[in-house]
Chain A
Amino acid sequence: MAANVQKTSSLGKVLVTGGCGFLGHHIVKLIVERHPATQVSVLDLRTELNRNSNTNVSYHNCDITSVGAVQQIFSKIQPDVVIHTAGANLIAKNEVHYKVNVDGTKNLLAAAEKTGVKVFVYTSSASVIYNPKTELINADESWPLVMGKDQPEYYTHTKAIAEKAVLEANRGETGMLTCAIRPAGIFGEGDVQTLPKMVSAYQKGQNKFQVGSNNNLFDFSYVGNIAHGHLLAVQALLHTQKMMPTIPLDTEKVDGEAFFITNGQPVYFWDFARAVYHEAGDTLPLSSVWKMSQGLMYLIGAILEWLFWILGKTPNLTRQQVKYSCMTRYYSIKKAEKRLGYQPIVNLEEGVRRGVKYILQEEQKGKDKKDQ
């Protein structure tokens, strides 16, 4: 139980893969703030971006798909804890997805076991239980993974395989403990997916439109909460590790388990978008918003896709986007609350404020540079 876990000044030697990425650098930041005596080693393909200035953080360029490089760095650092957030870019090719997400994760697991790592936390994705045919209404961890033919998103397929590999490595020969964190809809400072798309939709004037009934709840999670969830998992596993060989009760077990981590505040999809628009400067009254039915927009999306396909481009409006914005997709975080003692530390309002402010500041910086 996380409630028993005391605030420790050090988590030991922690290795964060993808520590220069969006989520990774927030995790590094939180470790430095909360457990300042921790030795953090960041592994990333490139380590110029999102660097933490703290002297306890070191940066190592490393391609996790290379067995030799990974082995070498693990024997050098001898980490106690591995937080594996590195993943392939969403728009990468299928082979890259497989190589990074599956082979990369397996390389890390092998190296970790060889060097006596105690705790291994993997960043999975909430989409691993998503199947395009059904909505997710308050879904929990008892839902099965959706992979292979049932999973049209190859990226998600590889994340699911990797998660399975990580959880199967739990309590292996070396006694390493593992668990998986499944975040849903991460946003925040430095995010490249969620908020920038919404802000640019507003800037293009798309705030005048809205598709569907807007009764569909959706999980958006502030990145700081996801980082918090990872650290709670690390603490819980370190605690279990100390108690070895005593095995915790099934209802309290963290090792070998997956956890959904969200803001615990599902909101109506368009409400979140409208809150982002507002934060970015929108003043359009709700009565002036065109509300269009899902069916009509789906048809328009199909026609646009077809026309743009002839031109060899992708339109602004696609059927997938229409579907996505009309779909109910939210999770129950009861398991994380109970077993990790997880509670979001930043609420949705504050998260949106921080995330949009960051985007607008970056834009301003870009403009200032141009003006010079």
Chain B
Amino acid sequence: MIKATELLYYLVHPQELRQIIQWKTWHNPVHERDESKESATLKRCFFFLDMTSRSFSAVIKELHPELLVPVCLFYLVLRGLDTVEDDMTIPLEKKEPILRNFQDILEQDGWTFTENGPNEKDRQLLIEFNVVIEEFKKIKPAYQDIIKDITKRMGNGMADYCKNAEHNINGVNTIKDYELYCHYVAGLVGEGCTRLFVEGNLANPALLKRPELMESMGQLLQQVNIIRDVKEDWDDGRAFWPREIWSKHVDNFEDLFKPEYKQQALNCSSEMIVTALERADDCLYYLAGLKEQSVFNFCAIPQSMAIATLNTCFQNHNLFKKVVKITKGEACELMTESTQNLRMVCDIFRRYSRKIHHKNNPHDPSFLRISVACGKIEQFIESIFPSQPQPRTTEEKKLTAAEEARIKESAEEAKREMMFLMLAVGLTLFLITIVMFIVAWAAGARFDIAWVQLKSQLGSFFGSSSSTADVTKHVEL
């Protein structure tokens, strides 16, 4: 299992190994699913959850029992939708109606889909999609409605995107298009989850009144994925970075991957990163609205990973050569910290935004914008956890004349004492110096030579004209 290179890595990074051990030993799930009470189909659903998602399955499985199954099914439904959208072997005529009607499919008993290409990694989920539908029917109708609504909107958004021939040829054009795409594939997930949390009474209903916050939660995660996967996507023939951004730096998208355009590629990635980073304060605001620990963990872990990933991608030219990832040790540290409270997550955000800020290149076109984005995160954290106590009004500490005189007197006395102390120290040092000189002289030291040498050395150090005079004198000696 463990590769030799990994073993070597942790030998030189014991700190990271420690983080992994700590996470594995000390992390107690807030809630644990009770497998004994689960039906065979539900067990199969959890099997698919593990199969299709590595990062989300762990946090989903620790969710509050009220939401465990709904969120798991929500994930599988969207994964199913995504597997249809992603598959380039399915013709558009076939793809479009499935995407647009996926919410109705959720009510068709026994629906399965076997026409995915052989290389589609999650095709088995659709082959056995009937188990998801069977479990879906069992959850509360309110949850069903939320999942169906999001599925409908996402399916239509995806269909629009696929249908738009321009995307297939040129990729995403404007920043607005890019954010719209992220809205369909992730912003809507944020909305769906929030509605589920509120419906389950595990989050503050006020979150629904600030839709931009849940939008940012999804946007940040999706944008980070798009930034990180730029090379992988390009190798698969896809490009999600909007032309509006990359065209400022290079003429053709593929130039980003050429070594001669290294600086341009880095500048372009900075602009992508700052676009995502500007959402970070919204995400912290959102997290402040979550009441229940498992829901908090569920939302906070991916966000912390996202901000750490942004830091790893920032000013890193490997982004255009291979997949860059945060290390396992870093990930475990982040998980330990993100499963505590908002304050810890704020500390993570501040820590990583400062790391980004310190790598910020003054000659990058996005330099000041990045600096402002990092400052915004720090200011937001200060607004919820002020580090500075509010000063009392000056009127309160008005002193009487007598008190003032006393303070002044004691200050003067302290000053006098300090003077005497300094004088005593100075005198002692002076005496010791004299004694040492006398001893040295008695032992035969030649101060006259030392003095001349010192002068000439100082003179040549400062390069002044007097040094030549000193040197001639030295010669005469």
Contacts and interface: CB of A to CB of B under 8 A. Distances in A.
B375 A266 contact: yes
Given A217-B379, A266-B379, A275-B367, A348 B362 contact: no
Contacts of A239: none
Interface in A296-342: 330, 332
A271 B367 contact: yes
Most buried by B among A143, A146, A267, A277: A267
A144 B392 contact: yes
A142 B390 contact: yes
A55 B86 CA distance: 65
Interface in B351-372: 354, 357-358, 360-363, 367-369, 371-372
A271 B383 CA distance: 22
Contacts of B372: 265, 267, 347-348
Interface string B369-400: 10110111011001100111011111100000
Contact of A278 (B363, B383, B392, B394): B363
A146 B357 CA distance: 33
Nearest to B362: A274
Contacts, number: 86
Contacts of B395: 144
Interface string B324-366: 0000000000000000000000000000001001101111000
A226 interface: no
A57 B354 CA distance: 48
Interface string B241-274: 0000000000000000000000000000000000
Most buried by B among A142, A274, A282: A274
A273 to B, nearest CB: 9
Given A266-B379, A271-B367, A330-B379, A144 B393 contact: yes
B379 A267 contact: no
Contacts of A217: 375, 378-379
B231 to A, nearest CB: 26
B368 A137 contact: no
A285 interface: yes
Interface size range of chain A in the complex: 35 or more
A89 B376 CA distance: 33
A2 interface: no
B382 A138 contact: yes
A348 B387 contact: no
A352 B394 contact: no
A265 B379 CA distance: 9
A219 to B, nearest CB: 10
A93 to B, nearest CB: 26
Contact of A332 (B354, B376, B383, B391): B383
Contacts of B378: 217, 266
Contacts of B374: 268
Interface residues of B, number: 28
A217 B380 CA distance: 13
A150 B394 CA distance: 9
Interface string A275-294: 10110001101100000000
A349 B368 contact: yes
A349 B383 contact: no
Interface in A132-169: 134-139, 142-148, 150
Given A267-B375, A268-B357, A352 B368 contact: yes
Contact of B367 (A266, A278, A283, A330): A278
A348 B374 CA distance: 14
Nearest to B404: A149
A271 B357 contact: yes
Contacts of B390: 142-143
A61 interface: no
Contacts of B354: 215
Interface in A101-139: 131, 134-139
Contact of B382 (A137, A145, A348): A137
A134 B361 CA distance: 30
Interface in B206-242: none
Most buried by A among B371, B374, B395: B371
B388 A265 contact: no
Contacts of B357: 214-215, 268, 271
Contact of A137 (B358, B369, B386): B386
A215 B377 CA distance: 13
Contact of A268 (B363, B375, B382, B386): B375
A277 B379 contact: no
A286 B375 CA distance: 19
B377 to A, nearest CB: 11
A340 B407 CA distance: 45
A98 to B, nearest CB: 19
A148 B399 CA distance: 14
A275 B362 contact: yes
Contact of A349 (B369, B375, B392): B369
Nearest to A136: B388
A141 B382 CA distance: 16
26 contacts: A135-B388, A136-B388, A138-B382, A144-B391, A144-B392, A145-B394, A217-B378, A265-B376, A266-B376, A266-B378, A267-B368, A268-B371, A268-B374, A271-B367, A271-B371, A274-B362, A275-B367, A278-B367, A282-B362, A283-B363, A285-B361, A330-B375, A330-B379, A347-B372, A348-B368, A348-B372
Given A137-B386, A137-B388, A265-B375, 13 more contacts: A134-B388, A135-B388, A138-B379, A144-B393, A217-B379, A266-B375, A266-B376, A266-B379, A267-B372, A283-B363, A286-B362, A332-B379, A352-B368
Interface of A: 131, 134-139, 142-148, 150, 214-215, 217, 265-268, 271-272, 274-275, 277-278, 282-283, 285-286, 330, 332, 347-349, 352
The 3 closest A-B pairs by CB, nearest first: A274-B362, A271-B371, A144-B393
